[in-house]
Amino acid sequence: MSIPGLASRRAALTLLDAVLRRGKTLDKAAPQAQGPLESEADGALARAIASEVLRWKVDLDLLIDSATKKRLSDEAKPRTVLAMMLAQWLRLDTPLHAVIATGLPLLAGGPRRLAHGVFSTLVKREVGLPAAPSLPDTVRLRWGERAEAIAAALTEPPPLDLTLRDPGETDAWAERLGGISLMPGHVRLSRGAAVTSLAGFDDGAWWVQDFAASLPAKLLGPGEGRSVLDLCAAPGGKTLQLAAAGWQVTAIDASAKRLARLRENLSRTGLVADIVTADARDWQPEAPFDAVLLDAPCTATGTCRRHPDVLHRIGPRQIAEMTKLQARLLERAAGWVKPAGQLVYAVCSLEPEEGENQMAGLALETAPITTGELPQELLPTSQGWLKTEPGMLAGAGGMDGFFIARYIRNET
């Protein structure tokens, strides 16, 4: 007889194995892990369990170690299963009987008695988790004095941000959807909303896009029919923004699969862009553009609220690989800007190697980002860049971490 909910826990275990042992992202691991599940709700539960384990793994491991005479190895299956059981009990409010009924069968043929004993001991002790997750040592040292505020922002998954096709209707959509707005063209809703069932989805009135991710395109201003190149465009939120702002958009990305999603959203919103499937390292445009937006591939450590796998996958090797790729793309992008044209460079990374360190030697003039272009509480740096972190706008639900810089090519 099948145990209700067991399939979701098996999928969560597969997700965690893919991240922690094989270094895959949750997004890339999800299709295979969640494929056998019967419903979207089952898949969402598997993802929620895995995400909570990854957010709180350091603290969950400490609890497990406090109840074992001999430390379980990091790769031991019982450690991962126990972390899942604790995450469900302490973070997802799953009843204890359900935690045990769906956790221990994952260790069939293995040390079920050990896992049951450890879990029961911790329940009897009435253990709890700290107010905010503890970061892995390597991450905490890398982020330094910023680490505490970033960790505090990881306590809860992020809300749902929408970018509106018509910023002039911001107040109306915020009221209709029951959300708040942090700036014109943006509406924020509580997490958990079924996106496709929300008012305005079928009409293409908005698209899902993190608040911080919407800022780079806004910094290019109104298009007024001018040309813009959106490099590394998929899944396409910035392309939609630029098209809605009146730019003639050429969107390029190497992933045909991800560009298919952009095409769907263009069709849904009624917006228009030229789409090119190509690797920007090899592609060459026929003519320069009035503006270029390079939201470069990166380690995505700034998205740790929604993608806690980055806390455990990303290290010096991955940062070095991305830094090299970004430098190559930035060099090419700078050469495709018309005289007096703009270049906006952005990465959803918290690593200086991918952000401010990339700006050295760029053969363009800084076009400083100003306070008046930004939402309240966000300020540009002294160099005219914008650096956001997950701990910012905490009272309104936080935001992803981004580095954004704007440059202009001299007319001479």
**Predicted confidence (pLDDT) per residue in 329-342, tens digit:** 999 999 999 999 99
What pLDDT is attached to residue 1? 56
Do 236 and 278 lie in one domain? The reply is yes
Final residue in a domain of this structure, among 209, 227, 242: 209
φ and ψ at residue 11, rounded to 5 degrees: -65, -40
Domain shared by 199 and 217, yes or no: no
DSSP-derived secondary structure letter, 255: -
Same domain, 180 and 194: yes
Q: Quick one: pLDDT at residue 157?
A: 87
Active site residue 232: no
Q: Provide the pLDDT for residue 4.
A: 87
Condensed to tens digits (0 to 9), the pLDDT of residues 193-215 reads 789 999 999 999 999 999 999 99
The pLDDT score that the predictor gives to residue 244 is 98
What CATH number has the domain bearing residue 282?
3.40.50.150
In the Cβ-directed half-sphere of 21, how many Cα atoms lie within 13 Å? 12
Q: Which residue shows structure tokens 């909910």?
A: 5
Task: Give CA–CA dist 52/156, Å, rounded.
Answer: 9
The reply to whether 218 and 205 lie within a common domain is no
Domain that holds residue 275: 211-408
Q: What is the pLDDT of residue 74?
A: 86
What's the length of the chain? 412
Which stretches does DSSP call E strand in 54-171?
Answer: 160-164
For residue 54, tell me if it sits in a domain: yes
pLDDT of 108: 84
Q: Does a structural domain hold residue 136?
A: no
264 lies in a domain? yes
Domain end residue (candidates: 171, 192, 209): 209
Question: Tens digits of per-residue pLDDT, 229-252?
Answer: 999 999 899 999 999 999 999 999
Query: 101-141: per-residue pLDDT in tens?
Result: 999 999 987 789 999 999 999 999 999 999 999 999 999 99
Same domain, 259 and 377: yes
CATH number, residue 73? 1.10.940.10
Catalytic, out of 232, 298, 304, 348? 348
Residues 302 and 373 in one domain: yes
The alpha carbons of the chain give a radius of gyration, in whole angstroms, of 23
Residue 84 domain flag: yes
* CA-to-CA separations, 322 to 6, 79, 170, 318, 336, in angstroms, rounded: 38, 32, 36, 6, 21
Residues 87 and 110 in one domain: yes
246 & 204 share domain: no
Domain count of the fold of the chain:
3
Clarify whether residues 350 and 274 are in a common domain. yes
Is residue 150 in a domain? no
The answer to the question of residue 134 being in a domain is no
Listed residues 144, 178, 209: the one ending a domain: 209
First to last CA, the chain: 77
User: Is 202 inside a domain boundary?
Assistant: yes
DSSP 131: S
Clarify whether residues 11 and 97 are in a common domain. yes
**Do 295 and 310 belong together in one domain?**
yes
Considering the domain boundaries, does residue 44 fall inside one?
yes
Q: What is the pTM of this model?
A: 0.94
pLDDT at 163: 98
Nearest Cα to Cα of residue 195 among 169, 166, 161:
161
Please give the pLDDT value at position 75.
Answer: 84
pLDDT computed for residue 412 by the predictor: 61
- Identify the pLDDT of residue 361: 82
Same domain? 302 vs 328: yes
Residues of the chain below pLDDT 50:
none
**What span, in angstroms and rounded, lies between the C-alpha atoms of 397 and 393?**
6
